[in-house]
Structure 1
Amino acid sequence: MSKKKNERQVQIRNILLKENRIKITDLAKQLNVTPETLRSDLNEMERQNIVVREHGYARMDNSLGELPVYLRSQEHPKEKKNIVFRAFQEIKDGQVVYLDSGSTIILGIQYIQTKKDLTIVTNSLPLALECAKMNLKIIFAGGDVLNEGLRCYGFFAEQIINRINVDVAILGSDGIVNCDGFTTNNVHEVGFKRHIINRSKKIITVCDRFKFQKEAPFIYCKFSEIDQLITNELTPQEYEKVKEIPSVIQIKAD
C-alpha cells in the first residue's frame, strides 16, 4: 500500500471514530478526494472489517477484532516510542531477545541499535524486515501467517521457539479491561505466547496507557506471570489493577 493511501485510510478511521456514522459524500468532501478514490479505500477497509457501508453511509465495524498493523502503528506513536526506548534499556549486549509483533515495538525499533551482538527472535514480518535493514542477527519464527497482523503463529512457529533459550522477551497487549492479565485479539496467538513465556528468563510487557481502556477476548498470561510492565504514567486506579506485577515502570509525558 502506498504511503498516501495508508495515511488516507488512517484519516478515514479517525473521522469514523469521531462521527461513528457519516455520509460517504460528506466523507469524500472532508478528505478532498474523488468518489472513485474513496470507494477503493472503503472497499479495502470493508474487506479488513474496519468499516461497514450501508445505504450511502459508512460507519465503524464495531465487532471485536484486530486492526491491520499499519493502522495500529498510527495510534499514540509518541507514547509508544517512549515506552520502547525504556524497554530496550533492560536489554544487555549479547543477549537473545524476543520481540513481539505489536505496533508498540515496531514504532521504536530503531532504538535497538544502541545494543551490540544481539540475536533477535520474532514472529513479526515487519519487525524482521526492519531488523534486517539494520544488519541484526535474526531468527524468524515462521508458520501460519495472520495477514492483519503480519505475523506467524501455530505449530511450526512454536517448534522454532521451543529450541531457543530467550534471555529477555518483550511482549505487548491488546487491552486489559475486565481481566486479570494481558490479552490478544487472536486465539491462535495464545499458545504461541505461552511458548515464549516458558522459554524466557525475563518477561517484559510494554503497554501504552490507552490499553487500560480497551478490551480483548483472550488472556495469554496473568499479571503475576511477568517480571516487568513498562507503560505511560497511570492513574491510581490503573496502577491498582497491575500492582501485583513485581516492577511497574511508568514513563512520564514529556
Structure 2
Amino acid sequence: MGRLITAERRNKIAELIVSNGSIKVGELADNFTVSTETIRKDLIYLDKMGVIKKSRGGALSSLEVMEKPLETRSAENFDLKNAIAKKALSFIKNNAVLFIDAGSTALCLAKMLYLKKGLTIITNSISAANVLVNSKNKVYMSGGELNNTTMALEGFGATEFLSKIKVDVAFLGSSGFKEHCGPVSIDFSDADVKRIMISNSKLAIVLADSNKSRSTALVEYASWKDIDYLITNEDIDIKAVEELKKFTKLVFTDS
C-alpha cells in the first residue's frame, strides 16, 4: 500500500481494526509502509476518538470490548461476510434511513456503519444495536419478543412498530435459498419482520454469501422479484445465478 496522508491512513486503520476486531502494530506498519512509532501515534489518536482501544503491541476495536450477545456463527465465513458488507456500503447515501436485519452478515455491515455519521438506522437486532450504540448515527430499535437464537426482536411488538416505519434501504439476511423461489428464514416471526420491511423500503437488499445457495430453511419470506438486489460472492452455484438473474439484480463482491 502506498503512503497516505495522515487523515487517510488513520481512517483506513480504523476500518481495518473495526472489521478485523484487533491488529498488531507491526502489521499496520508493514501494511502502510510507515514506522511503528507513527502507527503508535495513530492508535493513540484513534483511542482518544473512541474508535479503538489501544492494547499492548496493537489495538482492539471498541466494539470488541462491548458486551455483545453474538452467536459463534458470526465467525463462520467471516471474510465473505465482510466483503459483502463492504459492497453494501455503496448503496448507502448521506443521511439515509436504513433498516438493519438480524444476522451475522448484517452485523458485519453494522460494524462498518459504526464509522459513519448522520444516518438513521432502524433495527430489530440486539447485536446490531449494541455495536452502533456509540456511533454518530441515530439508532432506533423495535420492540418485540427476544429470539435467543438470532438475538432479534420479533412478534407483534416488532411488526407493529416496523409497519409504521419507511426506510430508504432495508438490508436483509437469509438462511439460504436452495430449492426456493426467494430468500428464506428459520421461523415465521422473523419472516414477518422481513416482509414488512420489504414493503416499507425503497430498496430491499439481501446480503447472503454463496454458501446460502446450497442451504435452505423453513420459511420463504419473499419472492426474488420483490428483492431489488442480492449481494453475494462469485462462488455461488451457476444454476442458481441463471435463475436469480431472471428476477433480481446480482451484485458480486470484489474478492
- State if a TM-score over 0.5 links the two structures: yes
| Residues 196-235 of structure 1 mapped to structure 2, 5 A cutoff | 196-233=197-234, 234-235=236-237
| Equivalent position of 1:145 in the other structure | 146
Distance in 2, Cα, partners of 1:205 & 1:175: 11
Residues 113, 150 of structure 1: alpha-carbon distance in 2 compared, 3 angstrom cutoff: closer
1:247 has 2:245 as partner: no
Q: Any idea what the Cα deviations from partners look like across 1:58-83, whole Å, max 9, x if unmatched?
A: xxxxxxxxxx9512201100000000
1:172 has 2:173 as partner: yes
Deviation at residue 237 of structure 1 after TM alignment = 1.8
| Equivalent position of 1:185 in the other structure | 186
| Equivalent position of 1:72 in the other structure | 73
Is contact 1:228-1:245 (8 Å) kept? no
- What secondary structure is seen at the aligned counterpart in 1 of 2:113? helix
Distance in 2, Cα, partners of 1:126 & 1:86: 21
- What secondary structure is seen at the aligned counterpart in 2 of 1:158? helix
- What secondary structure is seen at the aligned counterpart in 2 of 1:73? helix
Aligned-residue sequence identity (percent) comes to 32
Distance in 2, Cα, partners of 1:232 & 1:205: 12
Distance in 1, Cα, partners of 2:136 & 2:117: 11
Is contact 1:230-1:248 (8 Å) kept? yes
Is contact 1:94-1:118 (8 Å) kept? yes
Deviation at residue 150 of structure 1 after TM alignment = 0.8
Normalised TM-score (structure 2)? 0.69
Distance in 1, Cα, partners of 2:227 & 2:109: 21
Q: How many residues align?
A: 186
Distance in 2, Cα, partners of 1:252 & 1:182: 22
Deviation at residue 114 of structure 1 after TM alignment = 5.3
Unmatched tracts of structure 2, length 5 or more: 1-68
| Equivalent position of 2:102 in the other structure | 101
Is contact 1:92-1:115 (8 Å) kept? no
Q: Any idea what the Cα deviations from partners look like across 1:29-75, whole Å, max 9, x if unmatched?
A: xxxxxxxxxxxxxxxxxxxxxxxxxxxxxxxxxxxxxxx95122011
Letter of the structure 1 residue corresponding to residue 212 of structure 2:
K
Is contact 2:175-2:185 (8 Å) kept? yes
Normalised TM-score (structure 1)? 0.69
Is contact 1:93-1:118 (8 Å) kept? yes
Distance in 2, Cα, partners of 1:88 & 1:182: 21
Distance in 2, Cα, partners of 1:101 & 1:235: 25
Q: Any idea what the Cα deviations from partners look like across 1:95-151, whole Å, max 9, x if unmatched?
A: 110001011121242322454311100000010011103242111012011011111
- What secondary structure is seen at the aligned counterpart in 1 of 2:183? strand
Deviation at residue 172 of structure 1 after TM alignment = 0.8
| Equivalent position of 1:90 in the other structure | 91
Cα RMSD after superposing both structures: 1.6
| Equivalent position of 1:126 in the other structure | 127
